[in-house]
Structure 1
Amino acid sequence: MTALMKASPGRRFARPGARRRIARLMLGGATLALVPAAGWAQETPAADPAPAEGEVYRLSPVLVDRGARGDDDARSVVAREISVGGKVATSIQDTPASISVVTQREIELRDADTIEEVLSYTPGIVTDYYGSDDRNDYFQIRGFDASTYRDGLTLGTMRGVREEPYAFERVEILKGANSTLFGPSEPGGSINYVSKLPRFEEFGEVYVQGGSFEHRELGFDFGDTIDADQTLAFRLTGKLQDAEREYAHSRDDEGFLMGGLTWEPTFDTSISLVADWLVRDASPNSGGYPLDRDYSRELFFGEPDLNRHAVERATVTLLGEHDFGGGFSLRGNVRYSDLTDDFGYVYLSDYPGRPGTVVDRFQFGSDSSAQELIGNLIGQYDRDFGAIDSSTLLGAEFRDASTSTSSFYGAVAGIDVANPVYTGAPPAVAPYLVQDQDYSTQALFVQQNLSFYDTIIVTGGVRHDWLDLRQTDRVGGAPVTASDDFAEFSFRGAVTWKVTDEVSTYVSYVESVSPPGIGVEPERGEQYEIGVKYAPDAFPALFSASVFDLTKNNVTIAVVQPDGAIVRQLIGESRARGFELEGKAEITETFSIFGGYTFLDTEVVKGVVRGVDVSGKRLASTPEHMASLWATYVVPGEGARGDLTFGFGARYVGAYYFNASNDNGRSDDAVLFDASIGYKVTENAELQVNVTNLMDEQNVVGRGTADYYNPGRTVMAKLRYVW
């Protein structure tokens, strides 16, 4: 046990009888990781006695316990390590990038029930700008779309599914262009969902929850070791939800089940198998609201008989790693996913100055299926050369995916918004798109890190992706097949200066290549960033600041046409410049706080939309200012009663334009308040009540052929029992 890493203070883990697996992380964690293995460390006073079997123990400052995956995420809002990115778990403080982590503890404190809610307090991210269009999770990072990953593997054709936050022990956000780490990806940033994996200890929880909009929910998450030698552990996580949305004739039902096995036959080998199943039966869209004034969110102007969204996805993932000794280790990950995603709804097609109260409507829907196999193999070699430490990563990735889509669109009978009368499901229309697509991707990458005197860390990386695309259209006679292939390089370079053990600063240059389409050049992005991070030894905390300049070329966007149709158009080049501040701290055992601020100056450098030059316009759905703050305070019960936990948060979202032309209005500045109160009924049971949008503020957050509002006030009560 000779691990020699500067560790994060303030962590504790309970691992009854578990084997300690100790590993060295080179360069103070200068590289990033795609695998879900995390290294955690703990500082303890020298006078602490050795823990007895089954008790909570503290690791010494130089030891890293790789077996206690995610446990600190259940206890703290402050994350000090990250498992996403450059192929090995690493310290956030020494990573040359702007990084945010939403831990399991933070998700629980805010009772975040969707990914949009999970990300709503993260600097640089704007969420939920399509309001009651609930087909997907909508969010942007630094003015651009974000690419999404699960355990470091791209979600790819699974991207359109609303993910279930209860499946994850944390959500990691790596901001800026990242194709050297991830392959084809959006330039705004990347979001990695880290799955809950088995732990070598007995643990568990079960909860019931109810609240607004007839919401009823039951969930469980438990696991333990299976064999006497404690080499095999399991975990079972599930959720069942029966609910409605805030508008009439809606539903929001869900079932989720995930099971995992982890086998660790030796200190150096770990294999995890995780299988999960997600099914949703929900309403895809409220249909929007007329443009002439504000309307109640409870109203529904679509058609109850055509308002469906059915999703079913099954996923199997295999994660493995082995340390050969001598500084060489190998990791491999593979995942297979199968998805069906079908929806249909009726929406308003309004316009300013519309006479009377009858508004036109259209129907829109799609039936699709997808299958995807994706995996990687990553080798790492670490070596010391006196005052220089070296860490080299070499890897290969592959992805094979196929999709089948049938989409329909057409006009239906209008509706009198002053006296709505539903006319039933509109007659079926012939699909305007019937298409099969096949994707094949292979990639090779290398990343080199050099640490000089444990003070200066130089990081360089290069990646080459080969992409083969094939598309068959089956509308209008004989099938028409087209294909295309691409070969793209991306580069990354950075220098980190560890000013002290508590302060580090960095400068970086990173590139991105967005997933292309047949006959369409890939969108390319590049970002320059300077940042500083401060992690005090006095208490668990991490503060960061960054300044960035991000550019995206060959930009294509979705544009709503006058007849209601949606087409993609090339607008040329866009740019986002700004700075971010973020801080998360547990000041005392009873008081924690986190928040941030973003200033974002965006501009279309050159581009044309519908024949109109939009150069100089701001990017759509991108506010100039965003800020958030959440504080939690615990009033100890001291035996007379249970602990009381109070939480209060505020989110500020500045005004932004609704479209790329900046000509159909802009949102209002908005301040939204959230609150929570928890009471510890017994040592193992807690009652918690959360309120989002406490003042029930209503704002237009999206506008096309109709207005879409932000979610209204929601009150949820949860009774949770843990062991």
Structure 2
Amino acid sequence: MRDRSRGVVRPFSLRNARGSAAAAAIGIGAALLATPATAQDASEDEEVELDTLRIEDRTADVNPNAEPGAPYKARTSGDVRITRPIAEMPNTMQVLTESYIEDSGYTDLRPLLDAQPGITVGTGENGNQFGDRYIIRGQEARSDVFVDGLRDPGMTTRETFAVDQVEISKGPNSTFAGRGTAGGAVNLITKQATTDYDFVRADIGLGTDRYVRGTVDANFVLGEDLAVRANVLYGYTEVPDRGPADRERKGAALSATWSPGDAFDITLDYYGLRAHDKPDIGDYLSGDGSTGNRLPVETPPYAQDQDFMRSHVDVFTGRVNWALSDNVKLTNRTRYGMSDNGYVVTAAAGNTTSATGPGGAYPTITFSTHQKFQKVDYFATQTNLLISSDMMGGKNDLIIGAEYTDHSVKNGNWLNTNTGAFNCRTGTAAGSALNNYCGIGADGRPVSNLNSLLGRSIVRGAVNQDYHVETLSAYVMDTLDITDALTVFGGVRFDTYDYSLGVTGGNPPAVTQYEYSDSFWNGHLGVTYELGELGMIYASVATAADINGGESDVGTNAGYGGLLLVDGELPDAIPERSMLYELGTKLNLFDNRFLLTASVFQIDKDDVFEAAGSGYTPTGTGNTGANRTRGFELGLAGNITPIWSFQGGLTVMDAEITKSAANPLRVGKTLSNFADFQASLLTRIQPTDAFALGFAVKHKSKRYAGQPDTAPAFTTRPDGTFFYNQPVPAYTVGDAFVEYRFNENIEFRLNANNLTDEKYYLAAYQSGRFLYKGDARQVVGTLTLRY
């Protein structure tokens, strides 16, 4: 099973085989015409090369980490610090390949991740409202998204038009990622220019709900040493069945690579995204909170004309790879990024008009406003020295690395004035004057001007939170083959940081400044034992640490990861600590084209920061909480036959609060936004070279809304039993697609997502005030042109 061809300093280059598009075409033809006998006579390197060229016949923009012959299976990680194939690593890593992303029909990162077992999504009120927010194995991960191994700190909308693959590491991961990562991390591997060959690919999509999407991916070799690549995006759609709520995307990713030889290359790239949405907050929970009988209430599409959510992202990255010798390689990734995320959105809730008002009393919905803006500036640089050698008779991959990050965030509020005329009266006070905005009229129908009812006037306000974290890190990682079958993986990391938060409040406004410094160690240790050619078994332990005030979007809202104070003062707190224990197996089947994984795990999180009251208050009890997650995870990715591909898995998990000084009644309760059972599967069948079809299904069990790292809101009955107040119903949703390839240059794919038009919900706010809806059925056709 072990892939001896994967080395930390071996350059990936096909220049000698294909220096141009013509050479690529010759190589593809040779691969298609090769007989089994000629393939058997060829060398090992030639066999790998021919397999790779066959995959290029389907997609011009080859992902260098892909497994030849298995479009849903990644062979290697895009992180240079992971020096062995994914099938040999002692941890759970789920990879979503470009082919999987295309076939799924999802283009934003949030619906892609929500479909994966072990991951749920969360909501926010006036913090991270619609920026991507993920929860992995029950632990908050909204700040644990990385791009090519560097943290991406902006609370933004994330797109996939410039992504080769999405790598989801599950379990504490601070040796690789630094602070946070209590439940895991998400790493996006981006498309880069290559000097190997030219290609141009264009995708044009049209669909229901006014869907239109166009992308271009073009790579041009300007000489033996220089290449440029451009990815361009425009997309628009109304939110299915919720118009006028809509989503618009404009993006560009530009990359230039200079590679004067196999030993050295420099890449400079730019990524820009403009995501302009009119968001839909969705429905809400209603019912008898004293019995727990709360159910979703469906609402008409009520997004206001002035509502918006904007994510503007600009990122510049430089990359250097330098093979100092056959066994030593130096890499550096340096990035400067900016993002501006802002929104003003509307939420609906049930209400009843006043019996004393015009028309008498009738049930209706009224509205609330939620808003925030966030400006992020960050700098990061990461250097790795990779040394490959033979030690104790086996291969040894040693990594010595250092990282510096400077992360600055300014948060503020929008000033909103509703200028529309009141159209109803609510409340119990006597009188007939109108005093509110009602979305449902006395006839039980939406009012005629529902989407312009509030008539908002919006002005950007002043910054009221100034967040800054500067971090310096150093780490050592080693992978050592003790015997042909036994391999040990280990690493340690030291992080030291300076934290500051300035909060503006009061009348007249005054700034309160909080500052502190701290440091922590983390590590991981894993052992794998190879079971012949079939696969391996492994055991691993790993740690993670997070800091007081680690979330940049919430200031001193301690219940949501903001800075926690005790008696109004900054406490002498220690970092939160997470420990992973995992046993598992990985079986590389069907000529290494299908990976079956299984693991059992436990995550213990201690020294958890607890807020004393609601999530809005900075007051807390310090490092007084603890929780535990246990579970089983099964994963599968790849081909069981040349024509049948799979990607999917399931998780069965149990979460429990094990300690709480803030509220001892929380002990024994589950974690907020946590699904006990999740499963998903996407499968593709290609009976002929021209035709393919597939379907997908995803299921999530019931979840309960609440604050991160603690129990959902609950009520204790007189007999001592309890119920959770804010349930999010379980759901099962199915998708389907068909694809037809007319020739090597033209193909067409039809996706039908949410095929049966199920009504389902992704997440709820802790009070049930809003309930994010999953998208209704949408049908999209995409024409792909290749040159």
TM-score bracket relative to the smaller structure: 0.7 to 0.9
Residue 538 of structure 1 pairs with residue 538 of structure 2: no
Residue 619 of structure 1 pairs with residue 614 of structure 2: no
Change in 2 beyond 3 A, CA 1:479/1:145:
closer
Greater alpha carbon shift after TM alignment, 209-218 vs 565-574? 565-574
**Which residue of 2 is the match for residue 30 of structure 1?**
none
Query: Conserved in 2, the CA contact under 8 Å of 1:679 and 1:686?
Result: yes
Match of 2:147 among 150, 158, 164: 150
Secondary structure (helix, strand or coil) at the match of 2:72 reads coil
Written as runs of structure 1 = structure 2, the 5 A alignment for 1:569-718 is 572-607=625-660, 613-636=665-688, 643-659=690-706, 660-662=712-714, 663-703=724-764, 704-718=768-782
Per-residue CA deviation, residues 292-345 of structure 1 (Å, 9 max, x unaligned), is: 565556x2335333x111221111111111111152211111011011112112
Greater alpha carbon shift after TM alignment, 416-425 vs 622-631? 416-425
Secondary structure (helix, strand or coil) at the match of 1:81 reads coil
Match of 1:394 among 400, 416, 437: 400
1:148 Cα shift?
0.8
Stretches of structure 2 lacking an aligned partner (at least 5 in a row): 21-33, 53-61, 288-294, 355-360, 419-435, 550-562, 564-569, 707-711, 715-723
Question: How far apart, CA to CA, are the structure 1 residues paired with 2:376 and 2:653?
Answer: 36
**Which residue of 1 is the match for residue 321 of structure 2?**
321
Per-residue CA deviation, residues 327-381 of structure 1 (Å, 9 max, x unaligned), is: 2211111011011112112223558999952445322211221111101111122
**Which residue of 1 is the match for residue 371 of structure 2?**
365
Question: How far apart, CA to CA, are the structure 2 residues paired with 1:334 and 1:176?
Answer: 26
Question: How far apart, CA to CA, are the structure 2 residues paired with 1:120 and 1:514?
Answer: 24
Written as runs of structure 1 = structure 2, the 5 A alignment for 1:471-482 is 471-476=501-506, 477-482=509-514
1:188 Cα shift?
0.8
**Which residue of 2 is the match for residue 456 of structure 1?**
486
Query: Conserved in 1, the CA contact under 8 Å of 2:267 and 2:318?
Result: yes
Query: Conserved in 2, the CA contact under 8 Å of 1:350 and 1:705?
Result: no
**Which residue of 2 is the match for residue 27 of structure 1?**
none
Question: How far apart, CA to CA, are the structure 2 residues paired with 1:557 and 1:353?
Answer: 39
Query: Conserved in 2, the CA contact under 8 Å of 1:463 and 1:491?
Result: yes
Secondary structure (helix, strand or coil) at the match of 1:249 reads coil
- TM-score between both structures, scaled by the size of structure 1: 0.85
**Which residue of 2 is the match for residue 487 of structure 1?**
519
Change in 2 beyond 3 A, CA 1:526/1:606:
same
Match of 2:383 among 374, 377, 386: 377
Query: Conserved in 1, the CA contact under 8 Å of 2:245 and 2:303?
Result: no
Residue 248 of structure 1 pairs with residue 248 of structure 2: no
Query: Conserved in 1, the CA contact under 8 Å of 2:279 and 2:303?
Result: no
- TM-score between both structures, scaled by the size of structure 2: 0.78
1:454 Cα shift?
2.4
- Output the aligned Cα RMSD: 3.5
Per-residue CA deviation, residues 166-193 of structure 1 (Å, 9 max, x unaligned), is: 1100001111001011111221111100
Q: How many residues align?
A: 671
1:529 Cα shift?
0.4
**Which residue of 2 is the match for residue 303 of structure 1?**
304
Per-residue CA deviation, residues 639-672 of structure 1 (Å, 9 max, x unaligned), is: xxxx221101211211222231243242333221
1:265 Cα shift?
0.9
Greater alpha carbon shift after TM alignment, 73-82 vs 242-251? 73-82
Query: Conserved in 2, the CA contact under 8 Å of 1:221 and 1:235?
Result: yes
Per-residue CA deviation, residues 513-570 of structure 1 (Å, 9 max, x unaligned), is: 1243254643221110001000025351111000000122244589996xx9688977
**Which residue of 1 is the match for residue 218 of structure 2?**
222
1:592 Cα shift?
1.4
Greater alpha carbon shift after TM alignment, 646-655 vs 136-145? 136-145
**Which residue of 2 is the match for residue 281 of structure 1?**
276
Secondary structure (helix, strand or coil) at the match of 1:681 reads strand
Change in 2 beyond 3 A, CA 1:74/1:341:
farther
Matched residues, percent identical?
22
Written as runs of structure 1 = structure 2, the 5 A alignment for 1:24-423 is 47-48=38-39, 57-58=49-50, 69-70=64-65, 76-84=71-79, 87-127=81-121, 135-146=130-141, 147-156=144-153, 158=154, 160-199=155-194, 200-227=196-223, 230-246=224-240, 247-286=242-281, 288-289=283-284, 291=286, 299-305=300-306, 307-325=307-325, 327-350=327-350, 356-407=362-413, 413-417=436-440, 418=444, 419-420=446-447, 421=450, 422-423=452-453
Secondary structure (helix, strand or coil) at the match of 2:107 reads coil
Query: Conserved in 2, the CA contact under 8 Å of 1:74 and 1:105?
Result: no
Question: How far apart, CA to CA, are the structure 1 residues paired with 2:303 and 2:664?
Answer: 32
Give the counterpart letter for 1:162 in structure 2. Answer: T
Question: How far apart, CA to CA, are the structure 1 residues paired with 2:69 and 2:110?
Answer: 20
Question: How far apart, CA to CA, are the structure 1 residues paired with 2:596 and 2:351?
Answer: 46
Give the counterpart letter for 1:217 in structure 2. Answer: R
Question: How far apart, CA to CA, are the structure 1 residues paired with 2:285 and 2:102?
Answer: 36
1:500 Cα shift?
1.6
| Larger Rg over CA atoms | 2
**Which residue of 1 is the match for residue 534 of structure 2?**
502
Question: How far apart, CA to CA, are the structure 1 residues paired with 2:619 and 2:90?
Answer: 35
Change in 2 beyond 3 A, CA 1:333/1:559:
farther
Greater alpha carbon shift after TM alignment, 404-413 vs 101-110? 404-413
Greater alpha carbon shift after TM alignment, 600-609 vs 458-467? 600-609
Query: Conserved in 1, the CA contact under 8 Å of 2:257 and 2:266?
Result: yes
Per-residue CA deviation, residues 29-87 of structure 1 (Å, 9 max, x unaligned), is: xxxxxxxxxxxxxx996732779xx9994379xxxxxx972565896111121233x71
Query: Conserved in 1, the CA contact under 8 Å of 2:352 and 2:364?
Result: no
1:389 Cα shift?
3.3
Greater alpha carbon shift after TM alignment, 391-400 vs 541-550? 391-400
Secondary structure (helix, strand or coil) at the match of 1:234 reads strand
Question: How far apart, CA to CA, are the structure 2 residues paired with 1:139 and 1:226?
Answer: 41
Query: Conserved in 1, the CA contact under 8 Å of 2:285 and 2:726?
Result: no
Change in 2 beyond 3 A, CA 1:558/1:142:
farther
Per-residue CA deviation, residues 204-228 of structure 1 (Å, 9 max, x unaligned), is: 210111112211111110103111x
Query: Conserved in 1, the CA contact under 8 Å of 2:366 and 2:439?
Result: no
